[in-house]
Amino acid sequence: MSVEIRPAADEDVPAIVEMVYELAEFEKAVEECHLTPEQLRASLFAPSPAVFCHVARVDGQTIGMALWFRTFSTWEGVHGVYLEDLYVRPAARGTGAGKALVAALARICVESGYPRLEWAVLDWNPARAFYEALGARHKSDWLPYRLSGDALSTLAATA
């Protein structure tokens, strides 16, 4: 089985959105997922996009995706890549698609002079073993924070 990795095209959008919802269901947060094909299409194919996506395909079927964006490190003075979502459909796991998607992003980093490829993963997610097998290490000294919903609106009102 040969896995093809390429940047997402317009025709991939429905499958990418489906996989985002599959991932949200796996992460027990499907009620928080509101992505539409129109939103994703507008974001991915904007004149100056801020988000990017690569897909994994086998025999004409989209079996996985990596949705990502550039970050910037003030300490290093250069961009990096943040992997927002990596997903391979359950029937395609073990095909090498996940590793190939992460490797494609690693190549973008290296070719662009970006020193970092980062992402977050739920502490209970068995994919942690996969990431560690790639050589990734869990950062325990930085804790993620999020401001959203009412707290975001309340703070915004003070500006």
Catalytic residue IDs: 131
| Residue pointed to by tokens 């690569």 | 54
First vs last C-alpha separation in the chain: 55
**62: buried, middle or exposed (CB in 10 Å: 19+, 13-18, 0-12)?**
buried
Q: Where are the alpha helices (DSSP H) in the chain?
A: 13-26, 37-44, 97-112, 127-133, 149-157
Residue 73: φ, ψ to 5°: -100, 115
| Cα–Cα distance, 27 to 140 (Å, whole number) | 21
Residue type, 40: L
